[in-house]
Amino acid sequence: DVKVTQSSRYLVKRTGEKVFLECVQDMDHENMFWYRQDPGLGLRLIYFSYDVKMKEKGDIPEGYSVSREKKERFSLILESASTNQTSMYLCAIGRGLEQYFGPGTRLTVT
């Protein structure tokens, strides 16, 4: 079974704060992804990584950065949180051709 965990289920932060969202997998998967999901806009890819210290921009990278220092951990960083970053954040790992999601973090920025 694929297991993907995310650091928090719910998070409330203030505008301007630096926010870290962590994703951890318990298998040796190379590919990891960060998405956000908003009503009416669907799932949008923020960043992805195919290996340690490697990162690629997705469709909406502005306002975000990522870090992958160890294979099992992929962090999403909001450098200065804004209200338009209130969303559900989903981490996923790739296994073969398939993608599996973590439980998600619902972030509210006030």
The single residue among 34, 48, 64, 74 that binds another protein, judged by CB under 8 A, is: 48
Options 3, 12, 51, 103; binder of another protein; rule CB under 8 A: 103
Stretch that binds another protein, among 15-23, 43-51, 62-70, 76-84 (CB under 8 A): 43-51
Residue 38 or 79 with smaller CB distance to another protein: 38
Instruction: Fill in the amino acid letter for 27.
Output: M
Strands (E), the chain: 4-6, 10-13, 19-25, 32-38, 42-49, 56-57, 64-70, 73-78, 87-95, 98-101, 105-109
Sign of CA pseudo-dihedral 98, 25, 78, 38 = positive
Q: Which residues bind another protein (CB under 8 A)?
A: 31, 33, 40-43, 45, 48, 50, 58, 90, 94, 97-104
